[in-house]
Amino acid sequence: MTSPKLRKSLGPWAIDAVGALVLLMLTLGVYLGAVRPTLERRDAEATKRQEVEARRQELRRLSALLKQLENRSASVRKALAQTGLHLRGASEANRRLAEIAELATRSALKVDEIKPGKILGGEHFDVVPLGLNGSGRYAACV
C-alpha cells in the first residue's frame, strides 16, 4: 500500500481526491462505453419504429384508395358494357367509313361524299369528325 510518509505529505484530502478522480474516470468510461451507445441505439430504434408506423399508415391509405379505384373502374366497365357502345381507334377510320356507306346504301340513301375531318385529340380519347353529303327520302334519313 502507501507508505506513511507519502500519506503525511499528501494529506487525507489528496487521497480522497485521487479516489474521487478514479471513480469519476470509471464512471465516465462506463457511460461512454456502455450507457451512451445503448441510449443512442434506443433512440435510433424509436425513430425507425415511427418511420415504420408512418409507412404502414401510408400503405393502409393507399390500399384503401386502390380498392376504391378498382371498384370505380369495375362499375364504369359494367356501365360501358351495358350501353352497348363500342369505341374504336382512329386507325380504323376507313373501316368505319365503309360501314357508314354500306348502312346508307341499305337505307336507300345516296351518299355523294364522306369526308373525314382532322383528328381532335382529347384527354381520354380522340374524335374523328365526319362530313356526310347525300340525298334520300326524309323517312330513310331519320
| pLDDT one-digit tens code per residue, 110-124 | 888 888 888 888 777
- Grid coordinates in use for 83? 350501353
Predicted confidence band of residue 67 (pLDDT cuts 50, 70, 90): very high
Question: Which domain, by its residues, includes 59?
Answer: 4-82
Distance CA 67, CA 45 (A): 32
Residue type, 29: G
Domain boundary among 46, 67, 82: 82
| Location of C-alpha cell 386507325 | 91
Q: Quote the Cα angle for 122-124-130, to 5°.
A: 50
pLDDT of residue 134: 85
Higher model confidence: residue 1 or residue 5?
Answer: 5
Distance CA 116, CA 97 (A): 8
Let me know whether 77 and 20 are in one domain. Answer: yes
Domain boundary among 37, 60, 82: 82
Predicted confidence band of residue 65 (pLDDT cuts 50, 70, 90): very high
Which stretch of DSSP H or E encloses residue 50?
helix 36-83
Say whether pLDDT at 91 is over 80. no
Distance CA 80, CA 27 (A): 77
Predicted confidence band of residue 75 (pLDDT cuts 50, 70, 90): very high
pLDDT of residue 51: 97
- Grid coordinates in use for 89? 381507334
Sign of the dihedral defined by the CA atoms of residues 54, 55, 58, 60, in that order = negative
Cα 21 from chain centre: 59
Let me know whether 119 and 134 are in one domain. Answer: yes
Higher model confidence: residue 42 or residue 97?
Answer: 42
Number of domains in the chain: 2
What's the predicted TM-score (pTM) here? 0.45
Give the mean model confidence (pLDDT) for residues 1-26. Answer: 77
Let me know whether 92 and 48 are in one domain. Answer: no
For the chain, the distance separating the N- and C-terminal CA atoms, rounded to the nearest angstrom, is 124
Say whether pLDDT at 33 is over 70. yes
